[in-house]
Amino acid sequence: MKIATIDLGERPILLAPMEDVTDAAFRLMCKRFGADMVYTEFVSSDALIRAVNKTEQKLTLCDEERPVAVQIYGKDTGAMREAAQLVEAAHPDVLDINFGCPVKRVAGKGAGAGMLRDIPKMLEITRAVVDAVKIPVTVKTRLGWDAEHKIIVDLAEQLQDCGIAALSIHGRTRAQMYTGEADWTLIGEVKRNPRMHIPIIGNGDITSAEKAKQAFDETGVDGVMIGRGAIGRPWIFREVKHYLRTGETLPPENFGWYMEVLKQEVRDSVARLDERRGILHIRRHLAATPLFKGIPNFRETRIAMLRTESVDELFDIFDRIAESSIP
């Protein structure tokens, strides 16, 4: 699969953009585990052109994570055009437009998935961004606003006509948020449309190597994007790549190996921020990881793990968990 001249190989697996998740440290970790392309957190076009420091920091990229895409969102055409040019100056490989975020503070204000209610404006912004930069522009969106307005098949053609280099589709409507199951049937319909010639990337509920292969086999998508399935489990990319390559499930590592990965996530987060903020940031990963599922009488340990603000205390808890999990 190629995005413009960027060759991601056959059946690439991409890390989805996620706010408060896909910071530089996590992107690098997923890259080391086999992610073929990674995306930054959402970048607000309005905040970027106002030079908000926290937003500008999201444009800090490194060569080790390439190819990397910066994702922007907004509802004003002029602001999106200007933000795109500022992003291009940070030298990402790809610029992605977020027309898929369903959260109220974004979609409720007309940006992200909110654009699914104003297709002319969405296309106007897309054309403006494509014309404003020389790097490849891609789009990430959803099936439609709600069950009565699943417009993605026609919308995909319209976005392609704007000049985008690839399209990522989350298999839910905005109304679904993240509930229910992702519907990949329309993603497959977009891919099978003979008028589509850009790569189609599917997203939604990829939580295992088997599901990734099923997505490729049943829909014919060019790439698969993993979002929440990677939180607290960056090694999922290693598992998926092995399964796609061999058709066999990668044998599990010992429990301590996975705990060391989580420890490294903590270290990276603390190094990027500070001890207190770094641990607060990583709590989402610790809460989401499937590693602790099935451990008996884990509730009190889980509460302690998610309350501590000390690395030493957190690692002591990790060590106790690892010791208790040794057969």
Choose the final residue of a domain: 246, 269, 297. Answer: 246
Handedness of CA 229, 231, 233, 238 (dihedral sign): positive
CA dihedral 212, 215, 218, 222 (to 10 degrees): -110
Residues 60 and 6 reside in one and the same domain: yes
* pLDDT over 80 at 324, yes or no: no
Residues 205 and 73 reside in one and the same domain: yes
Distance (Å, rounded) from C-alpha 131 to C-alpha 204?
30
pLDDT class of 326 with cuts at 50, 70, 90: low
pLDDT class of 238 with cuts at 50, 70, 90: very high
Choose the final residue of a domain: 206, 221, 246. Answer: 246
* Mean pLDDT across the chain: 95
Which residues are registered as beta bridge partners of 94? 69
* pLDDT over 60 at 258, yes or no: yes
pLDDT class of 117 with cuts at 50, 70, 90: very high
Range 60-72 average pLDDT:
95
In order, the DSSP letters of 146-194 are STT-B-HHHHHHHHHHTT-SEEEEESS-TTTTT-S----HHHHHHHH-T
**Residue 89, Cα to own-chain centre: how many angstroms?**
22
Residues 79 and 218 reside in one and the same domain: yes
Phi, psi of 168 (to 5 degrees): -105, 135
**Length of the chain (residues):** 327
* Of the listed ranges 207-216, 227-236, 281-290, the one predicted with least confidence: 281-290
Residues 200 and 107 reside in one and the same domain: yes
CA angle in degrees (0–180, nearest 5) for 268-273-275: 80
Distance (Å, rounded) from C-alpha 83 to C-alpha 22?
20
Residues 231 and 277 reside in one and the same domain: no
Range 242-249 average pLDDT:
96
Range 20-24 average pLDDT:
92
Residues 242 and 266 reside in one and the same domain: no
- The pLDDT tens digits for 290-315 are 999 888 889 999 999 999 999 999 99
Choose the final residue of a domain: 217, 246, 275. Answer: 246
Distance (Å, rounded) from C-alpha 243 to C-alpha 99?
31
Question: How much of the chain, in percent, has pLDDT values that exceed 70?
Answer: 99
Residues 306 and 217 reside in one and the same domain: no
Number of domains, the chain: 2
Range 134-156 average pLDDT:
97
Task: Point out the residues that are catalytic.
Answer: 101
* pLDDT over 70 at 327, yes or no: no
| DSSP type of residue 51 | T
Phi, psi of 138 (to 5 degrees): -125, 170
Residues 80 and 197 reside in one and the same domain: yes
């420890």: which residue's tokens? Answer: 263
Residues 43 and 170 reside in one and the same domain: yes
- Give residue 281's pLDDT: 92
Range 167-191 average pLDDT:
96
Residue 260 domain boundaries: 255-324
Residues 14 and 45 reside in one and the same domain: yes
53-68 b/e (C-beta count within 10 Å ≥ 16 → b): eebeebbebeeebebb
Q: Between 173 and 53, name the one with better pLDDT.
A: 173
Range 13-24 average pLDDT:
94
- Give residue 325's pLDDT: 66
Range 88-103 average pLDDT:
96
Range 79-91 average pLDDT:
96
Residues 79 and 128 reside in one and the same domain: yes
Residues 119 and 231 reside in one and the same domain: yes
pLDDT class of 4 with cuts at 50, 70, 90: very high
User: What's the CATH number where 127 sits?
Assistant: 3.20.20.70
Neighbours of 277 (CB within 10 A): 13
Distance (Å, rounded) from C-alpha 30 to C-alpha 117?
34
Handedness of CA 283, 263, 55, 141 (dihedral sign): negative
Question: How much of the chain, in percent, has pLDDT values that exceed 90?
Answer: 90
